[in-house]
Amino acid sequence: MQTTITASSSSSKAAGVAGGTKTPCWAKVGLKRELWTPEEDELLINYIKKEWDGRWRTLPKRAGLLCCRKSCHIR
């Protein structure tokens, strides 16, 4: 008796993502993937208190940080 099991992997291919995974945001050129320093914490806090307009996408660049927006959001 033979049993055939098929798995559908069309959902990742249909979404247009090669291999079903996305490239992590920190993998972009120039972004760091290390622990936050006290100076970076201070830059983030000061920027949010004084100038932040509510857009996570622009926060790292405008605050002068070399990290991705997700990292700022989590922090």
Residue 39 — very low, low, confident or very high, per pLDDT cuts 50/70/90? Answer: very high
Residue 72 located in a structural domain = yes
Structure tokens, 70: 């997700």
Residues 20-31 have pLDDT tens digits of 677 766 666 677
Residue 62 located in a structural domain = yes
Residue with tokens 């050129």: 29
Note down the domain range covering 69: 39-48+58-75
What's the one-letter identity of residue 44? L
Residue with tokens 């790292």: 60
Residue 44 located in a structural domain = yes
Please calculate the CA angle 30-67-33 and round it to the nearest 5 degrees: 75
For residue 58, how far is the Cα from the chain centroid? 13
Residues 41-70 have pLDDT tens digits of 999 999 999 998 888 888 888 999 988 888
Residue 64 located in a structural domain = yes
